């Protein structure tokens, strides 16, 4: 049951959670749990309530019903979807890392080095590139030594190499610190490669499980259509066989046709 696994408490769990905006259910009947050390990705089309779910779990949004339970004393690191440091506010990277809890210089230096931005302390936040900005946000989240990292579409606005590098960094952080990761994404490639578990969302939980199980679920296919077959095929190919074909992204387009031939058009 959610909330308990092997006698231990989940880091965070939702029981029958619903959120309502203007009398309309945005999320309904969500039950889920995050266990220590796992990487879970919430996947869903635009407007499916992905960010809403994260914000409800964080306690930012009021629930219309249900409950969220946290492990006692849970340390959370959060990387929001959009954070723009207005040019009207002068803010160095070093100062930003000390919000809201002040940290020592040594800690700040180590956190910046960890995310691959050594020596960036004196730079203004407003002058950072998109990729640097996301890494600084991650560094700040890591400073609280989180047991659970929550990231809301952390790679929005990054190019593909930047995105891949960012997810590799997340994976490294998980390996080093043992922190669980809950993130929202709409990028299927990344999800399939980087997650232990996928929650497929569209106002409710359509299906959840390992990426492979989810990708074979009819609910998932209905939601994402045939256009995703490339990513799935790539994923399955890589993970079903032990021999290495060294697939690149260029193969994506050729794969869908080897699978579904039932005449449906691309979504």
Partner 1 sequence: MLDDFLIRAALAGVGLALATGPLGSFVIWRRMAYFGDATSHAAILGVALALALHVPIAAGTLIVALAMAATVSTLAAKGWAMDTTLGVLAHAALAFGLVAISYVPGVRSDLSAYLFGDILAVSRLDLAFIWGGAALVLVLLVWRWQALLTSTLNEDLAFASGLNPNRERLVLTLALALVVAVALKIVGALLIAAMLIIPAAAARGLARTPEAMAIYATAFGALASFAGLRLSLWQDTPAGPSIVTAAAVIFALVAVFGRVLRR
Distances (CA, A) of 220 to 30, 207, 211, 227, 261: 17, 7, 11, 12, 18
Q: Which of 50, 55, 174, 197 is in the footprint of partner 1 by CB under 8 A?
A: 55
How far, rounded to the nearest angstrom, does the alpha carbon of residue 244 sit from its chain's CA centroid?
27
The least CB distance from residue 85 to partner 1, in Å, is: 7
Q: Which of 91, 110, 158, 165 is in the footprint of partner 1 by CB under 8 A?
A: 91
Element (H, E) at 218: helix 218-224
Q: Is 215 exposed, middle or buried (0-12, 13-18, 19+ CB in 10 A)?
A: buried
> Looking at 11-19, 79-87, 163-171, 233-241, which segment touches partner 1 (CB under 8 A)?
79-87
With beta carbons less than 8 A apart as the criterion, state whether 212 and 235 touch: yes
> Looking at 55-63, 105-113, 206-214, 258-266, which segment touches partner 1 (CB under 8 A)?
55-63
> Looking at 75-83, 159-167, 214-222, 252-260, which segment touches partner 1 (CB under 8 A)?
75-83
- Name the nearest CA neighbour of 37 among 173, 154, 201, 184: 173
166 binds partner 1 (CB under 8 A): no
Please spell the DSSP secondary structure of 151-179, one letter per residue.
EESTTTT--HHHHHHHHHHHHHHHHHH--
Q: Is 252 exposed, middle or buried (0-12, 13-18, 19+ CB in 10 A)?
A: middle
Q: Which of 19, 30, 76, 117 is in the footprint of partner 1 by CB under 8 A?
A: 76
124 binds partner 1 (CB under 8 A): yes
> Looking at 11-19, 29-37, 58-66, 240-248, which segment touches partner 1 (CB under 8 A)?
58-66
The least CB distance from residue 7 to partner 1, in Å, is: 28
Q: What angle is formed at CA 157 by the lines to CA 210 and CA 180, rounded to 5 degrees?
A: 35
150 binds partner 1 (CB under 8 A): yes
Please spell the DSSP secondary structure of 95-148, one letter per residue.
HHHTSSS---HHHHHHHHHHTT-TT-TTSBGGGS-HHHHHHHHHHHHHTT--SE
The least CB distance from residue 207 to partner 1, in Å, is: 28
Q: Which of 9, 29, 58, 217 is in the footprint of partner 1 by CB under 8 A?
A: 58
- Identity of the residue, 89 or 106, whose beta carbon is nearer to partner 1 in the bound complex: 89
- Residues 92-121: x where in contact with partner 1 by CB under 8 A, - otherwise, as a string: x--xx-xxxxx-------------------
How many residues bind partner 1 (CB under 8 A)? The answer is: 25
Element (H, E) at 149: strand 148-152
127 binds partner 1 (CB under 8 A): no
Q: Which residues bind partner 1 (CB under 8 A)?
A: 55, 58-60, 76, 78, 80, 83, 85-86, 88-92, 95-96, 98-102, 122, 124, 150
């Amino acid at each position: 049951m959610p909330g308990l696994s092997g006698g231990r408490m989940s880091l965070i769990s939702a029981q029958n959670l619903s959120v309502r905006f203007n009398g309309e259910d945005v999320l309904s009947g969500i039950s889920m749990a995050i266990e220590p050390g796992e990487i879970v990705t919430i996947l869903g089309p635009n407007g499916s309530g992905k960010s809403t779910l994260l914000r409800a779990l964080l306690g930012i949004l009021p629930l219309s019903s249900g409950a969220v339970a946290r492990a006692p004393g849970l340390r959370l690191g959060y990387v929001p979807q959009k954070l723009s440091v207005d040019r009207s506010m002068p803010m160095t990277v070093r100062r930003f890392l000390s919000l809201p809890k002040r940290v020592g210089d040594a800690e700040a230096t180590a956190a910046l080095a960890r995310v691959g931005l050594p020596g960036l302390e004196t730079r203004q936040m407003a002058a950072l590139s998109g990729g640097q900005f996301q890494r600084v946000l991650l560094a700040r989240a890591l400073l609280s030594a989180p047991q659970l990292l929550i990231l809301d579409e952390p790679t929005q606005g990054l190019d593909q190499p930047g995105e891949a590098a960012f997810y590799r960094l997340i994976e490294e952080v998980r390996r080093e610190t043992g922190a669980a990761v809950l993130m929202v994404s709409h990028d299927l490639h990344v999800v399939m490669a980087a997650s232990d578990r996928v929650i497929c969302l569209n106002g409710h939980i359509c299906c959840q499980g390992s990426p492979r199980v989810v990708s074979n679920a009819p609910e998932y296919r209905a939601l994402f259509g045939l256009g995703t077959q490339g990513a799935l095929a790539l994923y399955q190919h890589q993970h079903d066989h032990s021999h290495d074909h060294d697939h690149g992204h260029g193969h994506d387009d050729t794969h869908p046709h080897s699978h579904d031939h039932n005449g449906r058009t691309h979504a």
